[in-house]
Structure 1
């Protein structure tokens, strides 16, 4: 009988779910049986990608962003009782899931309550160092306390320079077994004809996703060349809307998304870490607009701009004129590194 591995990404935008796709494919290739567990759009995305796999709905964190970036931290603090309640509910759920599905191992992408002392438990994060302004020391300490409840931590980045996560994914001292996966992406670079001048990738919690969508649709309404918008809204059916020169999709599955990014000259998106991994794999020119108040995205955007790889600006400051900066930047490039899944999955082979 195949060993069943529970794989549970956080439902916070689509990034955690999408970077689990290559891990699920690797589990299948090594003859494990992945069981998907999440909630909301993250669960819907993985159900569409892997319709034959069993899936379980987990308790929702229900975290939303403040409308103004300066209130981001205050909103998270206000939501913390709700977050702790969800983590407690996760712990209860995972006990039942292990028994019901005869689970042999757990892979949690940033779900803090999905672990067990009964089976090997992996935590995936690129944030060993959690930025939160003047409370960074505290948020980092709290996050590390949660991570230490797991058997091992997998970081989707290179261990040494050059790397993509910078100080987020690299600490001098961290007393938990940590393995670096390399730049994890579900995509492959393909040399195909460029047909779109710009592709806009939207994602992340509300209301900031909608605020950026509305701003960019307004900015590009008279743009003369071909633009593709992907809203990042998972719905039962895919919808396509044509507004002058702009083609708007509510969502794309992996195959179409890979094809469309490959055939687009440049990408405008949030500076979410999974997006950075994907665009690096596809060697893309990009322009980043970090989610207001989200310290991690602001740090990544600033770092990549300072490295002369990708220009960026604050959401309120974006105009079409900013895109003229693109030619002065190198663009993202991936590293020649393949994750050793045989070694990583050996954790689940132990008796």
Structure 2
């Protein structure tokens, strides 16, 4: 039995939830798993795997901005993040000194690698997209990424290979020989599963994002519910607020729900209205949703690129938050085709284990 350390970044829940099928597979093959994480990521994985071993392992603060100052604020935060990465790596060395590990899996934690233990990095961003104004920084990121990727034995890319089925577009395209040599394209990886149920909801609205953008979108959505028609559920994404449910006509508004409840609602919904975060997009692909409206968080360049990319591919309609006309945009969303057919998580994670992970563990 091998011992694996899995450490996801705590920037939202996406890194933790896409690690769920990987951890399930490791446990199913009889390996011991220790999860090193913090915050909500740690909480979610504790709920999913109550019998696993856990280490409280702080990561770096989220350099999100409230709007279009995201890029300069992110750049200004880089020195602090580098310092935090050095501390993160020192902490890892202390963890590895206390126990025997056969493999380290880092989901986007830049300091979680070892020269003594085989290390694998999980990321869908092999290339960083920035607005044209910041193109020198985008070019500078290429050699930085190359140095980062050199620290790992392999890179698991939760996307299909570059081509017509790529979910991340240019974000997951290898820029360097190092990335090309190390990349393993796993396909979709998500903890959200398809379940047999009736699609009895016209709409599911998932409101998320850093403040004040979360509140701004909530206000836009709630003001338009009664003129949309149909029935639906609005998830307000406010776990800090007391859990509460209110009714607006045939709509139900909930302050927050568990990840299991959210997955059930996504399965039941005919149309999903949401941010264009990559984890959510993988969930839509996993569930085979053929209708969605994407609203990228203003200033978050990855979400803005993915929304544009999906619009160009004809998969889902996207609209900027400040130009949103909910009734018109939902009507436009009917004319998009959703994702083409592709392999799903169960098949992907089996291939990931057989073709990559088993080579380090068996």
Tell me the TM-score normalized by structure 1.
0.91
Question: SS in structure 2 opposite 1:20?
Answer: helix
1:63 matched to 2:67? The reply is no
* 1:103 positional shift: 2.0
Give the CA RMSD over aligned residues. 2.2
Alignment match, 1:202: 207
Alignment match, 1:139: 141
- More helix per residue: 1 or 2? 2
- Which residue of 189, 200, 216 corresponds with 1:211? 216
After superposition, give the CA deviation of every residue in 1:174-226 in whole Å (9 maximum; x if it has no partner): 32421111121223334421122111223444443343334323332665432
Task: Give the conservation status (yes or no) of the 8 Å contact 1:64–1:206.
Answer: no
Alignment match, 2:343: 336
**Whole-angstrom distance in 1 between the partners of 2:314 and 2:13:** 27
After superposition, give the CA deviation of every residue in 1:64-110 in whole Å (9 maximum; x if it has no partner): 422222x1111102222221122112101111211224222111111
Task: Give the conservation status (yes or no) of the 8 Å contact 1:230–1:252.
Answer: no
- Which residue of 321, 327, 331 corresponds with 1:324? 331
Task: Give the conservation status (yes or no) of the 8 Å contact 1:120–1:347.
Answer: no
Alignment of 1:216-231 (within 5 A): 216-220=221-225, 223-231=228-236
Alignment gaps of 5+ in structure 2? none
Task: Give the conservation status (yes or no) of the 8 Å contact 1:281–1:334.
Answer: no
Question: SS in structure 1 opposite 2:15?
Answer: helix
- Which residue of 117, 127, 146 corresponds with 1:119? 117
**Whole-angstrom distance in 1 between the partners of 2:94 and 2:321:** 43
**Whole-angstrom distance in 2 between the partners of 1:204 and 1:43:** 19
Task: Give the conservation status (yes or no) of the 8 Å contact 1:49–1:253.
Answer: no
**Whole-angstrom distance in 1 between the partners of 2:257 and 2:238:** 6
- Which residue of 300, 309, 321 corresponds with 1:303? 309
* 1:250 positional shift: 1.4
Alignment match, 2:183: 178
